[in-house]
Amino acid sequence: MQILDGKKTANDIKKEIAIEVIALIKSGEKKPHLAAILVGSDGASETYVNAKVKACEKVGFNSSLVRFDSDVSEEELLAEINKINNNADIDGLIVQLPLPNHIDEMKVTETIFPSKDVDGFHPENIGRMALNLPTYLPATPAGILELLQRYHIETSGKHCVVVGRSNIVGLPMSILMAQKSYPGNCTVTLTHSRTQNLNEITKTADILIVALGKAEFVTADMLKEGVVIVDVGITRVKSEKTKSGWKLLGDVNFDSVKDKCSFITPVPGGVGPMTIAMLLKNTLISAKSKS
Ligand code: NDP
């Protein structure tokens, strides 16, 4: 079994981005600028947003973080998004999800200008992705493609099983893996909570991409020998062994599957860092499109 090392690969990508930022500045352009909006004080969301802001510093981007209390009105939030949309200094905008129940997430996503939607969630960008047109690919699926590519994983003609059909991971992943390109050209099965006989389907996977949000759900008995596993899941559980008091678990039971798979992304250190690297890459694309 070989680890698909997302942490190392993401660091390589960040170094490549940092070099491009230096070149941009040398040619008289401004630094790329990513803005993030955080609503409320959910611990996991705080962690993710802080990691994104820190990553911006590392590659030489500017970043701004706008915080709102969890009782912010939808109107106020949309007004802030519009302000950022119209701020020429800002290249990319992300709104950390999930949002409180009184705010319509789709309305928020649709309010972000597609040209600044570096998370790749806007319906226009999802449509362009589905048609294989240039766009911002959703960051997590894009990170998975990049990882498969950099490890030269063969995908053509393979059976790719995706578990989970969310708009931000499973659904776009299934579209991208079926596209006529590399990585892609897979025969794809998209599964979800209503899928019957899931174990029988996962057993036929050459590539298994798991994004359902249930800690250690996938075990060795669900797999065929030699499968490539991409574990997207992140569940925070309390731990007395870590400094933070939390540890992260994936959707795959690593110890159970490690002797059966050919490649696997670890949690942490797999898809998570790649997601952030792709967010930076999308922001750089946005900045360069204006230069
Ligand atoms: P969602 O909760 O939006 O979607 C979960 C999906 O899993 C749904 O489609 C659901 O089916 C399906 N599902 C639930 N239970 C089962 C089951 N028993 N069998 C088969 N399918 C099932 O999750 P996300 O896609 O947003 O996130 C998934 C996980 O990935 C989470 O742990 C999240 O934290 C993590 N994540 C990690 C990222 C990273 O950068 N590493 C980025 C984004 C997410 P149905 O549609 O029928 O309800």
Catalogue all structural domains in the chain, each as residue range(s) with its CATH number. Answer: 28-113 (3.40.50.10860), 139-272 (3.40.50.720)
Helix (H, G, I), strand (E, B) or coil at 285: helix
CA distance linking residue 77 with residue 71, whole number of Å: 10
Q: Is the CB of 165 under 6 A from ligand 1?
A: yes
Nearest ligand 1 atom to alpha carbon 97: 26
Ligand 1, atom 39: closest residue by C-alpha: 272
**Cβ contacts of 173 within 8 Å, gap of 6 or more:** 140, 141, 144, 162, 209, 211
Give, for all 291 residues of the chain, the pLDDT tens digit.
999 999 999 999 999 999 999 999 999 999 999 999 999 989 889 989 999 999 999 999 999 999 999 999 999 999 999 999 999 999 999 999 999 999 999 999 999 999 999 999 999 999 999 999 999 999 999 999 999 999 999 999 999 999 999 999 999 999 999 999 999 999 999 999 999 999 999 999 999 999 999 999 999 999 999 999 999 999 999 999 999 898 999 999 999 999 999 999 999 999 999 999 999 999 999 999 976
Mutate to test the pocket of ligand 1, among 222, 234, 265, 274 (most ligand atoms within 8 A of CB): 234
Q: Is the CB of 234 under 6 A from ligand 1?
A: yes
> In the prediction, which pLDDT does 233 show?
97
Task: Calculate the alpha carbon distances from 117 to 33, 89, 112, 138, 243 in Å.
Answer: 13, 15, 6, 9, 35
Ligand 1, atom 22: closest residue by C-alpha: 193
pTM of the model: 0.97
- Which single residue is written with the structure tokens 């401004």? 30
- Active site (catalytic) residues: 52, 96, 119
Amino acid present at 217? F
Ligand 1 centroid distance, CA of 20 (Å): 34
Q: Is the CB of 267 under 6 A from ligand 1?
A: no
Task: Calculate the alpha carbon distances from 211 to 171, 198, 253, 271, 286 in Å.
Answer: 10, 14, 13, 11, 28
Instruction: Classify residue 226 by burial, with Cβ atoms within 10 Å: 0-12, 13-18, 19+.
Output: exposed
Q: Is the CB of 271 under 6 A from ligand 1?
A: yes
Q: 206: which DSSP letter?
A: S
φ/ψ (deg, to 5) at 240:
-85, -10
> In the prediction, which pLDDT does 44 show?
86
Nearest ligand 1 atom to alpha carbon 192: 21
Instruction: Give me the sign of the Cα torsion angle 215, 167, 176, 60.
Output: negative
Ligand 1, atom 36: closest residue by C-alpha: 233
Q: Is the CB of 129 under 6 A from ligand 1?
A: no
φ/ψ (deg, to 5) at 95:
-115, 115
Ligand 1, atom 1: closest residue by C-alpha: 166
Which structure tokens are listed for 20? 């491009």
Contacts 24+ apart (CB under 8 A), 98-105: 98/42, 98/45, 99/39, 100/39, 100/40, 100/70, 100/71, 102/74, 103/39, 103/72, 103/74, 103/77, 104/74
Q: Is the CB of 96 under 6 A from ligand 1?
A: no
Contact 178, 184 (CB under 8 A): yes
